[in-house]
């Protein structure tokens, strides 16, 4: 039966289990016309069940390690050495530090210790802060729904089409002319000009005047 190996979900297989895996891979790579023997099928089924059980055992082991980490964290500051060691191991298995871990690391950083240990604690604090920030960003991105389709930029129509020339208005219309004012619609009436002076009557010639008196 495979056994969990390490805290990262690894598994250790025996020689017989490796032979079963080799035969299963060979059967998968061969053509579909070649059918495995009943013995090979039974061996693959037993191995699959053993791998599933080993996976569950690895999950139980990680749960135990995380619970132990919480116990050491609750016993701080006296258990600082054991807590830091277990925290590094948990981070290697994919553990995401929480607010309690960040608060504990900040508290340990403020505790007096040697220069080398101070640098180790500071480096571990920075690592946990980065992992916690990445986890928060991932959860926020998962809550935001993705767009249904690709977002395309909106295109604005230019006057005149592709030529880029300004659009032509109606014939005879001045595009620069503004709205007419009331004075332009109803022009102001001009006063009537006075009548032109008439010329005085001319006197009759002398002959006509004598005839009139004679």
Asked if residue 66 is part of any domain, the answer here is yes
Are residues 3 and 58 part of one domain? yes
Backbone angles phi, psi at 53, to 5 degrees: -65, -40
Asked if residue 88 is part of any domain, the answer here is no
CB 132, CB 98: distance < 8 Å? yes
Are residues 28 and 63 part of one domain? yes
Asked if residue 198 is part of any domain, the answer here is no
Query: What's the whole-number mean pLDDT along residues 161-165?
Result: 55
DSSP code, position 135: H
Hunting for tokens 């980490």 — which residue is that?
A: 69
pLDDT in tens, 37-65: 788 778 777 877 877 787 788 788 888 88
Q: Note the pLDDT of residue 153.
A: 64
Asked if residue 203 is part of any domain, the answer here is no
Are residues 66 and 16 part of one domain? yes
Question: Could you tell me the pLDDT band of residue 82, with boundaries at 50, 70 and 90?
Answer: very high
Are residues 105 and 65 part of one domain? no
Is residue 143 scored above 70 in pLDDT? yes
Domain that holds residue 9: 1-76
Are residues 1 and 72 part of one domain? yes
Q: How many H helices and E strands in the chain?
A: 7, 2
Give the number of domains in the chain.
Answer: 2
> Which of 16 and 164 is assigned the larger pLDDT?
16
Are residues 67 and 9 part of one domain? yes
Asked if residue 122 is part of any domain, the answer here is yes
H/E element, 4 = strand 3-5
Scored b (16 or more CB within 10 A) or e, 195-210 reads: eeeeeeeeeeeeeeee
> Which of 183 and 22 is assigned the larger pLDDT?
22
Q: Note the pLDDT of residue 81.
A: 93
Are residues 67 and 8 part of one domain? yes
Least confident window among 27-36, 40-49, 113-122 = 27-36
């Amino acid at each position: 039966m495979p056994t969990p190996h390490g805290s990262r979900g690894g598994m250790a297989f025996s020689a017989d289990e490796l032979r079963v895996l080799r035969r299963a891979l060979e059967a998968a790579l061969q053509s579909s016309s070649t059918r495995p023997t009943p013995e090979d099928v039974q061996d693959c089924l037993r191995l699959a069940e053993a791998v599933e059980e080993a996976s569950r055992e690895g999950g139980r082991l990680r749960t135990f390690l995380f619970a132990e980490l919480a116990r050491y964290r609750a016993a701080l500051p006296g258990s600082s050495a054991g807590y830091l060691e277990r925290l590094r191991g948990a981070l290697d298995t994919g553990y995401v530090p929480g607010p309690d871990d960040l608060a504990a690391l900040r508290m340990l950083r403020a505790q007096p210790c040697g220069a080398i240990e101070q640098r180790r604690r500071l480096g571990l604090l920075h690592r946990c802060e980065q992992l916690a920030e990445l986890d928060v960003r991932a959860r926020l991105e998962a809550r935001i729904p993705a767009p249904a389709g690709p977002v395309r930029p909106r295109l604005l129509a230019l006057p005149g089409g592709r030529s880029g020339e300004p659009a032509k208005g109606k014939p005879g219309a001045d595009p620069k002319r503004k709205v007419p004012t009331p004075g332009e619609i109803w022009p102001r009436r001009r006063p009537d000009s006075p009548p032109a002076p008439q010329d005085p009557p001319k006197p009759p010639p002398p002959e006509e005047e004598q005839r009139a008196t004679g």
